[in-house]
Structure 1
Amino acid sequence: MSTKRLPNKAIILACALLVLAFAACTQAQPTPTVTQMVAKETGALAEPVTIRIAVLPITDALPMYVAQQSGYFQAHGVKVEFIPSASAAERDQIIAAGQADGMINEIVATLLYNHQQVQIQIVRFARVASAEWPQYYLLASGKSGITTVEGLKGVEIGVSEGTIIEYVTDRMLQAEGFNPEEIKVVAVPKISDRMALLSSGELKAGTLPDPLAFLAIQQGAVVVLDDSRHPGMGHSTYAFRKEFINQHPEAIRSFLAALEQAIGEINAAPEKWDSLLSEQKLVPDPLIGSYQVPQFPTASVPGEELWNDVLAWAKAEGLVQADVAYQDSVNPTFLP
Structure 2
Amino acid sequence: MAWLRSALGAAVLLALFATGAMAQEKIRVGVLKYGTVNWALDAMTRNGLDEENGVDVEIVPFAGEDASNVALQAGDVDIIVSDWLWVSRQRATGADFTFAPYSTSVGSMMVAGDSDMKALGDLKGKTIGVAGGPLDKNWLLIQALAKKNYGTDLAGENDVVFGAPPLLTEKARSGELDAVLNFWHYAARLEAEGFRTLISGADAAMEMGASGPVAALGWVFRDSFAEKHPKAIRGFLAADKATKGLLESSDAEWDIVAPLTKAKDEKTLQTLRNRYREGIPSRSAAEEEADARTLYRLLAEIGGEKLVGPSRELVEGTYWPGLADGG
Question: 1:158 aligns to what?
Answer: 129
Gaps of 5+ in 2: 1-10, 207-211
**Counterparts in 2 of 1:1-336, with a 5 A limit?**
30=12, 46-56=22-32, 57-123=34-100, 125-129=101-105, 135-140=106-111, 146-159=117-130, 160-161=132-133, 162-170=135-143, 173=146, 177-179=149-151, 181-182=153-154, 186=160, 188-218=162-192, 221-227=195-201, 229=203, 230=206, 231-233=212-214, 235-278=216-259, 281-286=260-265, 287-288=268-269, 291-293=272-274, 294-295=276-277, 296-298=280-282, 300-301=284-285, 302-318=288-304, 319=307, 320-333=309-322, 335-336=326-327
Partners of 1:154 and 1:183 within 8 A in 2: no
Inter-CA distance 233–264: structure 2 relative to 1 (3 Å threshold)? closer
| AA in 1 matched with 2:102 | A
Q: What stretches of structure 1 of length at least 5 have no aligned partner?
A: 1-28, 40-44, 130-134
1:168-225, Cα deviation, whole Å (9 max, x unpaired): 53465467x2446345584624111221222233333221222211223455644212
Query: What is the aligned length?
Result: 292
- The DSSP-based 3-state class of the residue aligned with 1:303 is helix
8 Å Cα contact 2:31-2:62 kept in structure 1: yes
Q: Residues of 1 paired with 2:271 and 2:81: CA distance? A: 25
**Structure 1 residue 277: deviation in Å?**
3.7
Instruction: Pick closer, same or farther for the CA change 1:118–1:99 going to 2, 3 Å.
Output: same
TM superposition shift of 1:90: 3.1
Alpha carbons of structure 1 residues 234 and 227: separation in structure 2 relative to 1, 3 Å? farther
Tell me the C-alpha RMSD between the 2 structures: 3.4
* % identical equivalent positions: 18
For 2:250 and 2:99, locate their aligned partners in 1 and report how far apart those are by CA, in whole Å.
27
SS at match of 1:111: helix
Contact 2:117-2:123 at 8 Å conserved across structures: yes
Large movers: runs of 4+ above 6 Å: none
User: Normalization by structure 1: what TM-score?
Assistant: 0.72
SS of corresponding position for 2:77: coil
Whichever structure has more helix as a proportion of its residues is 2
Return the TM-score normalized by structure 2: 0.74
Give the Cα separation in 2 of the matches to 1:174 and 1:86.
Answer: 36
140-149 or 300-309, which moves further after superposition? 140-149
Structure whose alpha-carbon radius of gyration is higher: 1
CA distance in 2, matches of 1:117, 1:225: 36
* Cα displacement (A) at 1:64: 3.0
SS of the counterpart of 1:329?
Answer: coil
Distance in 2 separating the partners of 1:299 and 1:228: 14
Describe the shift of the 1:138–1:35 C-alpha distance in structure 2 as closer, same or farther (beyond 3 A).
farther
